[in-house]
Amino acid sequence: MHAYEKVRAEMLRRITSQVWPQGMTLPHEEVLADEFGVARGTMRRAMADLTERGLIERKRKAGTKVAARRAHSSTLNIPIVRVEITDSGAQYSYKLLSRVLGGPELDATGRFGRSKLLHVRSIHLADGRPYQLEDRLISLDAVPQADAQDFNEISPNEWLVEKVPYSAVRTILRAESADEMQAKHLKLGHGDPVFVIERQTQLDDLPVTLVKMTHPAASFSIATQTSQFR
């Protein structure tokens, strides 16, 4: 690992754990270079990488700040489900179903390795009807503060979008037949069609979260457009 990668990894850790919270002004480049024991060019390269990833913002005279959390995008946005539902004109409600340590059954390909995992299941409702079953693994190695979050009042979706940055995202869309657990919580028949969004995020090379979001196929759709569309 190059020196700038080690510096970047430590800066990412501080941002993720909120040692450096959003909006915080970072020490000057030369001060950080002295702290990390590297040349200013190395420090500058690490900061440039974080700026490109949208994790810090560098402005002349205003200094360097930790960027505010927001819905990031690759091909699709990562929306806050509560906002998605209320924007449709429906009333939003949420219920935590379970919160346990572990959950390797979701990580069938072993993407999290030996990471300590938190497995959270919750249901999002629109006008009292099931809208999305959120079945999520969170790496406590990447997001240690999640261990103290009970998720009774705020969903993992909303909490992660607001609190935790990421540098890479992978999204898979597919149709499935509802299994017993999905059918129970979505008020469907076993084998009924569902629409699944599976998403994994990483922070540098560290997996952050893997989520399977399941919707009743008959009442769910996705629309995308450019900002110039009329």
Name the 3-class secondary structure at 68.
coil
- For residue 158, the model assigns a pLDDT of 92
Q: What is the tens place of the pLDDT at every residue in 52-95?
A: 877 888 887 778 998 876 544 433 457 889 988 998 899 999 99
| Side-chain-facing half-sphere of 47: CA atoms under 13 Å | 23
| Residue from 10, 207, 185 nearest 116 by CA | 207
- For residue 8, the model assigns a pLDDT of 85
- For residue 55, the model assigns a pLDDT of 82
- Decide which of 56 and 13 is more confident: 56
d(CA 73, CA 56): 16
The fraction of the chain above a pLDDT of 70, given in percent, is 89
- Reduced 3-state DSSP string for 172-226: EEEEEECCHHHHHHHCCCCCCEEEEEEEEEEECCEEEEEEEEEEEHHHCCCCCCC
- For residue 130, the model assigns a pLDDT of 96
Lowest mean pLDDT among 72-81, 122-131, 134-143: 72-81
Element containing residue 117 per DSSP (H, E): strand 117-126
DSSP for 127-173? TTEEEEEEEEEEETTT-GGGGG---SSS-HHHHHHHH---SEEEEEE
pTM: 0.68
Residue 111 has pLDDT above 80, yes or no: no
- Decide which of 50 and 156 is more confident: 156
- For residue 154, the model assigns a pLDDT of 94
- Tell me the average pLDDT across 161-171: 82
Residue 180, φ and ψ in degrees, nearest 5: -60, -45
Which strands sit side by side in the sheet containing 117-126, from one edge to the other? 92-101, 117-126, 129-139, 206-216, 193-203, 168-177
Grade residue 120 by pLDDT with cuts at 50, 70 and 90: very high
- For residue 103, the model assigns a pLDDT of 64
Q: How many other CB atoms sit within 10 Å of the CB of residue 156?
A: 24
- For residue 227, the model assigns a pLDDT of 60
Given a contact cutoff of 8 angstroms between Cβ atoms, the answer to whether 171 and 74 are in contact is yes
| Residue from 124, 156, 158 nearest 140 by CA | 156
d(CA 218, CA 192): 10
Report CA-CA distances (Å) from 220 to 127, 131, 132, 157.
14, 8, 9, 18
The fraction of the chain above a pLDDT of 90, given in percent, is 43
- For residue 58, the model assigns a pLDDT of 84
Full set of structural domains in the chain with CATH: 3-66 (1.10.10.10), 81-219 (3.40.1410.10)
User: In this structure, is the dihedral angle defined by the CA atoms of residues 88, 89, 95 and 101, taken in order, positive or negative?
Assistant: positive
The pair of structure tokens assigned to 57 is 């913002």
- Tell me the average pLDDT across 139-162: 90
Burial environment of residue 71 by CB neighbours within 10 A (0 to 12, 13 to 18, 19 or more) = exposed
Residue 196 has pLDDT above 90, yes or no: yes
Residue 40 has pLDDT above 70, yes or no: yes
